[in-house]
Every structure is written in C-alpha cells, then in structure tokens.
Structure 1
Amino acid sequence: MVKLDVLLGSALTLCAEAHTLGRRQDAQIYEAEDAVLSGVTVETSQSGYSGTGYVGGFDDAADKITFTVNSDSTKLYDLSIRYAGIYGAKVTTVVLNESAKTDVSLAETSEFTTVAGGQVLLNEGANTIDIVSNWGYYLIDYISVSPSAPRPPHNVTPTLSNPNANADATALYQYLASIYGQNILSGQQDATWADWVTQQVGKTPAVLGVDLIDYSPSRVERGTTSTAVEDAIAHAGKGGIVTVVWHWNAPTGLYNTEEEPWWSGFYTAATDFDIAAALSDTTNANYTLIIRDIDAIAVQLKRLQDADVPILFRPLHEAEGGWFWWGAKGPEPCKALWNLIYDRWTNFHGINNLVWVWNSVAADWYPGDNVADVLSTDVYATGNGPLSAQYNSLIDLGKDTKLIAAAEVGSIPLPAQLQAYEADWVWFCTWGDQYINNAEYNAPDVLKAIYNDEYVLTLDEIQGWRNASK
C-alpha cells in the first residue's frame, strides 16, 4: 500500500515523444508565464525555456498554474508538459475543468524536457487545465495539446507466459481478454472492505484483493497469522476473481525501533536488508533467506492451486518508487529478484495457477514480456478521473500486447470517463480504510453510481466466467 501515484518521468517522456512527434503542426502551445498564476512566479534564470520565461515556486499545496485552452468541438487531446526537474524527481497534478485529476511524475532533469500528461477531453469552447503543486519544486515552461489519434484495436497476447499454466489460470486470462475494452471488473482490497462495499451499495466487487504479508517468515516468527488464503478461497467459491499482493517483510535486518517497528519491515526505511548484496552470491546467508521466504509463500500459493483458485499475482509491486526494499537498489536487482521468484515458483514448485501482474510503468524496470502477463500501476489521485496518463504509458510499455490493470486505486475511475478516454483498464482494485470509505476519494453517491453502471462488472454479473470466453 502506498498513498502516492507510482510513475517515473522517463517512461512518460518516451510516451510524450510517441504522441507528439509527427503532429507538431497540430499542437497548441500555452506558455506558463501567460497563464493565471496562483502562489507561483515567473522566472528566467534556468536556460533553455520557451517564450519569455517559465514558472517556478511550487512550494505550497495550493500553488498552481491555470491555463485556458480552447477547442472547436468536444474531443480528446494529448497533453504534454514541458518542465525542468532540477530539484529531483517530483509529481504534479493535472486538473481538467476543476474536476478530473491526473497525477504525472516528473523525472529529475538538468534541463527542460517534455513529459506526457495523458489525455484531456476538452469541451467545445474554453476549458481550464490546472498544474497543481502536489510534490512541488519543479519548473513549468509550457503545456501543449494536440488532437488524439484514434486508438487502434488491442493486440493482446493470446497465451500466458508460463507454458505450463493450468486450466484455471488459462480460463481466467481468456476471460479477462474477452472483456478487455468492453467492461471493467470492480475490485476491492481486503474482505472486510469488500463486505463494506456490499453493505453500502448493494453490489459486491467482482475482484477481491488479498495480501500475503502476514505469511512472511519474519512476521510469522513474531506471531502473525492470516486468513488471506481462506478469504481468497471463499470469494472464489462465490464465483469471484482473486488478486494477490505480497508486502514482503524483509527476511532479516529489521530495525524494530519505535520509529520503524518490525511490522513495517517491507519499507526501505525499516530495514538494512540489501537485495543487491543478497543476490550477488547464492552461497550467502541472505540469499538463503530469500529462498526461504519464497518457499514459504509457495506453500500458500499451492493451497490456492489445490483449491482450484487461479490468482492475479502481483509481487514486488511499486518497486520503482524505492520505498519498498525490493526496489531500493534500482531496477537490475529488482528484475533479478522477479526472475528468481518466477523461476522458483513456476519451475521448482510447479505453481501454475498464476497470472503474473507486473506493477510499474518504467521501461528500465520491466522484466520482460516472457515473464509478465498483465501490466499495472497503482494510482492514488483523487477526482475519479480516467488515469489516462498511466494507461497510455502502460500501453506503450507493452506495445499494446498486454492487458492493463489499475491494481490499486484510491479514487475509482468514472465509467463514462473511461469510455470517453478509451482507457480500457481491465480491472480496478480500491484500497481499504481511508480510501474506499473516504468521500474525498469516493463520495457515497459516486460510489453507488459506479457500481451500478453497466460498464462496471460486479460479482453477480460475472458468474460462470470460467466458461464465458469459450
């Protein structure tokens, strides 16, 4: 769980280039210094800017630039942002017409560069696009909008990466492929909060998210227990679909202080466990502990396999953020760990009920098409927007051959927005306390409307999914 959008600007920069090259003549450029400024100032000391200056001073939460953008009709546009990230990697929030919000990461740079800001559905006439502080401390040169090209048909890989995937996993993957672009599966993390959704809206999420966190050996040895596997089996028994995450408590090296207690040991800040060092030598003690932990989780996965429960499995999530120890040493150790897990569970343990879900938009972190079936990201922006920047980045990452999922969200995307933006997320899974029950993220009336929309599939509407794609 993390409360911030997980994106890297390097991936989005590539996306920006893909969407803007070749149609520069169609782009409308709006200089930041000519917009309405709130709490920010025009500056000129950083070289390489366009126009007469750029805007900086994003140091308070309410600081923003408001652009007025005109369109001759209601249609989709690609949004690009020219910025300089001279103060390090940051995140900005894009707000369209004081409503839909998108978080966009700005990678650290030494000069001005362009990043994709997703798409914006502009109304005929005048529209407003706000760039709001969020993490702050970056420089904005200008934004540009250009008409979006029609999205071509998806070309999803027809088979799973594991050639020995069992019938359950294959059926699940085929079902997801059959609804991709037609519907989105509703999902909720934690059985308690799934029950809460049922009570509040009268509909039960199609997808239940469970966490294997308390099966981590460094937690079990401190007395933790879990019903995650039982919850997953129970939901599958009702005809539902299960997605699994593993907040992997570090195998050893937990600080266990008042500031960083042992149960926060999945965070980088709570452990001195060095994944790069552990993987550098298969004879060292920490490598042995990694294998011990992987094998411990294999026991739980086999319980699910024996119960005929296929799972959407998402290990090593949010790695590029660096806040979890498996991502703290950069992409190469993380990818090596992913491949170790994949090989150990697939080839050594014979666990074949998994649909493998990668959870990053950054190209340099991607372990490869041959070990991932679904691409996903976690987005905690408010506003119930379509998350188009993230969706388009994942489309580019997988060359539109992979299913795309909103694996964790704070605010559920509005179905009408998803369809208008052609953001074909195949499922969403809302995080629990402080998100699903927080009106800032999901107002009660909006939540009910989403769950009752025909585009959103709930538990009662997916009964018999194993045979639906045949």
Structure 2
Amino acid sequence: MKNIYCKMICMICMIGMVACSASELQKSKTDEAQALLTTLKTVSQKNHFLFGHHDDPVYGIGWIGDKNRSDVKSVCGDYPAIMSFDLGRIELGGDKNLDNVPIERLRHEIIAQYERGGMVSLSWHADNPVTGKDAWDVSDSTVVASVLPGGTQHDKFMGWLDTVADFMNSLIASDGRKVPVLFRPWHEHTGSWFWWGQALCSATEYKALWHMTYEFMQQKGVKHLLYAYSPGTEPNNTAEYLDRYPGDDIINLIGFDTYQFNRQEYLNSMEKSLTILTEVGQSHDKPIAITETGYEAVPDSTWWTETLLPIISKYPISYVLVWRNAYERPNHYYAPYPGQASASDFVKFYADPRTLFVRDMKTKK
C-alpha cells in the first residue's frame, strides 16, 4: 500500500516538473531541490509522513563506524526516510564533526541516502566565533552582530560559510547531479542556549544572519538546498512564531523542536505548536515538520503508537525526526535498537500505512 502511494508522489512530481515554467520553479533552486519540495508538500496532503533519525548510519548503541548498519534498520528492516547530520566543527577545517564523525563519512552517507531514495537534513552547530568555544557558549551577547557586515568576526565567519558551501557543492551523486538537502541552520532560536538565540541578538540581527547565509550560498552556486526555519516550542501564537522569520523568499519548510520529559506536558506542547505550525504553513504555503523530537531512552514500551503517532497524525506534517543514538553517552538515545523496551512497538509504528521509510521512497526518483 505504501509503495503504491509513493508511485503516486513520483508521478505528481514528474508532471509538476514538466508543467512548471522556469520562473515558477524559482531559478534559485535545482530541479532536484524543487522535486524534493514537491514531495514534502504532497506527503502531508495525504496524511502520510516521513520518519527520520539523526546520525542513523554512522553509529548506534554498542557500535560506531560500521558500514550498512543502522539501529532503526536492525529493528524494522528498513532505513529511515530521512537522515539528519550535523556540520558542527566543519568550519574549523578539521576532518571530523562535533560528534567525532569523519567529514568524508558524512559526505558518503548523504550521497548514499539520496541514492537509496531517501532524504537528508543538515543542521549546523557552529562554534562561537568570538570565544572559540562551542555553539552552546552564550557568554557573549554580541556574537551575531560581530559576524554581520562590519563586525569584528565578519571575515572569519565568511570563511566559515565558504567551507560549508564547498562541502555542499561536493555532494554529487553518481549521475553527476548535486544531492538536494534540507539545510537547517540557526535552529531553536526562540530559546537562548545557542549564540544566535533569542536573548543574544535582536530580531533584525537574527534575520540578517539568515539573509547573509542564504545570499552567500546562492553566490557560491549552492542551489540544491531547501531551507528550514526551526524554532522551539516557546512561541504561543503565530505572531510570536513569525517574529524572527527571515521570509518566504528564503524559507521552504517550517518546523519546531521539542522533547518529552513529562508526557502530558509534551502532548500539550505538541498540540500548541502543531496548531500554530499548521496555521502558518497554510497561510505561507510551506510544508511543516517536527524537525527534532523524542523521548530519551524511550522507557515507555508503547510510546511510538500510543504517544507519538496519535498526536502527529492529527496534523498535516511532512516528517518527524528523532534525535541520535549516542554511542558514547549511556541512555542517550531516541530510536530503539534490538531488545530495547519499545522495539516491538516501533515495528507496529513502521507497519502503520501513515509512516514512510526509505523503501517507500525508492520510486520517487
């Protein structure tokens, strides 16, 4: 049933690509990026959603670096439809990111996920360019201002953007085309735990950071990206959600990040944020997504089908993505692995016709 649905998506995408004029396709996007955007919109219209997992094929519980391995695949026999990775520390010119994954491995896995029919999202926990510490260092409230034109760190930061752009341009599939990617920088900005957060810069400065990032990528020929606007659950209405929104001409998908600590509070937060997201998505013609979520160590054996699935099925989301299964931190994982308490329930979640994994996406190309 799911594969039949995805063939429909493929046909819709192909028809849309033929019918649209060059101006309608936006000259700022490659055909592959436009097709990905069409898929994200189409999925949500049919009450289906893609399932995603951060760092899925590069490490998991009890392993790191194995080839063709995934905790999700080990449980249900299939890869997630979306894999997300982080570019943090790439700006420093090293050979590994902030989670100790080789940059070359990231490149390989991004291309592999695309070629197996899946989608990739990239976040960027850039180090603090003023203090030299990590992205969570909020000891200086002038960092965003310092990287903007005229700022003391502007030249350094433009070099960082150049490194990111070069990496994006290196994502070339075997057919010679650049791999379309959903880029999600400057996320969770409605909190104040990153140097680009709410209390660390003005709305004008935050928007300027976005515009500078986007315009630089365009100048470097990085036109295979979609861009995601991804605050936390702090906004209480659409006006607050859009307070620092960079604009429809930049943003392609809107979402939010949230995690469960208390079940009822999680459900309440999800209801509030999904209601806001649905309204904004409809008024701005953007697909919506839960860009990060999860329940650490998933101690609830039926969390997937009795907590997550019922709430997200009420809203037209394009995807939901859970965070990583850390190999180096005990009990810091968000997807099941073989023998984990919620593994059997996850198999039921996988079998639900509303969920889409990578096998369901193969026919879209």
Q: What TM-score comes out, normalization by structure 2 length?
A: 0.72
Selected match of 2:143 from 252, 271, 275? 275
Q: Show the counterpart of 2:250.
A: 371
CA distance in 1, matches of 2:334, 2:211: 33
2:179 is aligned with 1:309: yes
**How many pairs align?**
294
Selected match of 1:355 from 226, 240, 243? 226
| Contact residue 160 and residue 373 of structure 1 kept, 8 A | no
2:322 is aligned with 1:457: no
Name the SS for the 1:319 alignment partner.
Answer: coil
CA distance in 2, matches of 1:285, 1:220: 27
**Matched letter for residue 271 of structure 2:** S
| Contact residue 414 and residue 450 of structure 1 kept, 8 A | no
**Matched letter for residue 217 of structure 2:** W
CA distance in 2, matches of 1:160, 1:242: 24
Note the residue ranges of structure 2 that are not aligned, 5 or more in a row: 1-19, 61-68, 236-240, 296-303, 326-331
- Greater RCO (CA < 8 Å, at least 6 residues apart): 2
CA distance in 1, matches of 2:96, 2:159: 13
> What displacement does 1:222 show?
11
CA distance in 2, matches of 1:424, 1:460: 21
- Report matched runs for 1:331-342 at 5 Å: 331-342=203-214
Name the SS for the 1:429 alignment partner.
Answer: strand
CA distance in 1, matches of 2:31, 2:318: 20
Name the SS for the 2:359 alignment partner.
Answer: helix
CA distance in 2, matches of 1:161, 1:329: 34
CA distance in 2, matches of 1:388, 1:400: 20
Identity %: 23
Q: Show the counterpart of 2:82.
A: 207
Q: What TM-score comes out, normalization by structure 1 length?
A: 0.57
| Contact residue 335 and residue 366 of structure 1 kept, 8 A | yes
Q: Show the counterpart of 1:324.
A: 194
Q: Show the counterpart of 1:23.
A: none
Cα distance per residue 1:112-165 (max 9 Å; x no partner)? xxxxxxxxxxxxxxxxxxxxxxxxxxxxxxxxxxxxxxxxxxxxxx99895320
Higher strand share: 1
Q: Show the counterpart of 1:436.
A: 334
> What displacement does 1:220 show?
6.1
Q: Show the counterpart of 1:409.
A: 293
| Contact residue 86 and residue 122 of structure 2 kept, 8 A | yes
- Report matched runs for 1:1-400 at 5 Å: 163-182=27-46, 183-190=48-55, 191=57, 192-193=59-60, 195-217=70-92, 225-226=102-103, 227-254=105-132, 262=133, 265-269=134-138, 272=140, 274-279=142-147, 282-304=149-171, 307-327=177-197, 328-346=200-218, 348-360=219-231, 362-381=241-260, 383=263, 385=267, 387-398=270-281, 399=283
Note the residue ranges of structure 1 that are not aligned, 5 or more in a row: 1-157, 255-261
| Contact residue 310 and residue 353 of structure 1 kept, 8 A | yes
Cα distance per residue 1:376-432 (max 9 Å; x no partner)? 11110254859222111122334252110111111456434433x2x1211111101
Q: Show the counterpart of 2:15.
A: none
| Contact residue 322 and residue 335 of structure 2 kept, 8 A | no
| Contact residue 278 and residue 316 of structure 2 kept, 8 A | no
Higher helix share: 2
Q: Max radius of gyration: which structure?
A: 1
CA distance in 1, matches of 2:96, 2:36: 35
CA distance in 1, matches of 2:95, 2:355: 38
Cα distance per residue 1:59-106 (max 9 Å; x no partner)? xxxxxxxxxxxxxxxxxxxxxxxxxxxxxxxxxxxxxxxxxxxxxxxx
CA distance in 1, matches of 2:97, 2:73: 34
Name the SS for the 2:318 alignment partner.
Answer: coil
Superposition CA RMSD, Å: 3.0
